[in-house]
Amino acid sequence: MADPRHSGTLFAGTNTAVYKTVDGGGSWRPFNEGLFPPPTAKRPFGTPGTTSWNRGNGWILGIAVDPIDGNVVYSAADTVRKSTDGGRTWKTVLLPYPTQWRYHSVSRIAIAPTRPESIYAIAHDATNGRTAIYKSTDGGRTWHATGRRTSRFPPSCCWDSMNALAVDARHPQTVYAAVGGTVLKTTDGGANWQPVTHGLPADDVTSLAADPQRSGTLYAGLRTGPHTGGIYTSTDGGRSWTVVVSGAAIAALAIDPARPATIWAAGWAGSSNGAQIWWKPRIFRSTDRGHTWTIAG
């Protein structure tokens, strides 16, 4: 995750720490003070802070940087944790299901660009399959579950790999979420959520990205396969979607905060060898807001 105000400053989460670079990736420094469960907590998935922690599946599943103050950073793992010193130390600010910590996960977190005290987080409770989207309007001090009884969230099969969050560039009450592969939208800060899937071929969305300069412009990555996977775009807030990359399975999307016309996507592309299709890791790039794409790696 890039710091939108400081070029070259990025954060990356691993099993052992949150790593930070201030020179565009030339060097990285790990920080993990306060990042893991307390020593008295049960540890069903290994020893916190080691490479085998959480069975090697990844511990930090999401990072969000305050768009105004780069010292304020949030991380998503078993809880939401907050740092006010640029990632050096962390404090838990949201424990979604306090009695069953070892069976839940916070998979994604996002900050409203124009109202950074508003934060959204997707949480899962593996004991009953429940998914919830939480919201804070005071920089993480207090949280509440969004949605009403009419806004039931679909279950997520894979927690981190099938979830995404994106907040509209100009309207902090408008949020898009991918939960269980389905894209949902709220325009009232999470009070109500509705699916926005017209034009998407399957409920298999893995990632979302919102243009930081153009309200209502979105990109969605799908990973289904060579016939329905790819990258889709919407310019009307999710009411309709158009495919811009096909024949690929997309795992992640990112927009360059300094150059929003540049979009990156990571995934796999298929190449045919007779009757067999080989999938190779690929990096895709667009420099014209998704109109054309090239393979960058």
pLDDT tens per residue across span 250-279: 988 999 888 889 999 988 886 655 454 567
pTM of the model: 0.89
The residue range of the domain holding 99 is 10-295
Mean pLDDT of 115-138: 88
Nearest residue to 210 (alpha-carbon basis) of 175, 186, 159: 175
**Is residue 28 domain-resident?**
yes
**Is residue 3 domain-resident?**
no
3-state secondary structure 192-205: CCEECCCCCCCCCE
Nearest residue to 279 (alpha-carbon basis) of 202, 225, 221: 225
User: Which DSSP helix (H) or strand (E) runs through 13?
Assistant: strand 10-13
Given a cut of 90, whether residue 223 has pLDDT beyond it is: no
**Is residue 5 domain-resident?**
no
The tokens describing 191, both together, are: 């009070």
Helix (H, G, I), strand (E, B) or coil at 98: helix
Distance of CA 160 to the CA centre of its chain: 8
The C-alpha angle with vertex 15 and arms to 282 and 49, in degrees rounded to 5, equals: 160
**Is residue 4 domain-resident?**
no
236 touches 224 (CB < 8 A): no
Domain with residue 207: its CATH number is 2.130.10.10
At residue 28 the predicted structure's pLDDT band, cuts being 50, 70 and 90, is very high
The number of C-alpha atoms within 13 Å of 237 and in the hemisphere containing its C-beta is 13
Mean pLDDT of 277-290: 84
Portion of the chain with pLDDT greater than 70, in percent: 81
**How many domains in the chain?**
1
State the chain's mean pLDDT as an integer. 84
**Is residue 58 domain-resident?**
yes
Mean pLDDT of 216-230: 79
**Is residue 2 domain-resident?**
no
The number of C-alpha atoms within 13 Å of 98 and in the hemisphere containing its C-beta is 4
Q: What are phi and psi of 202, to 5 degrees?
A: -160, 160
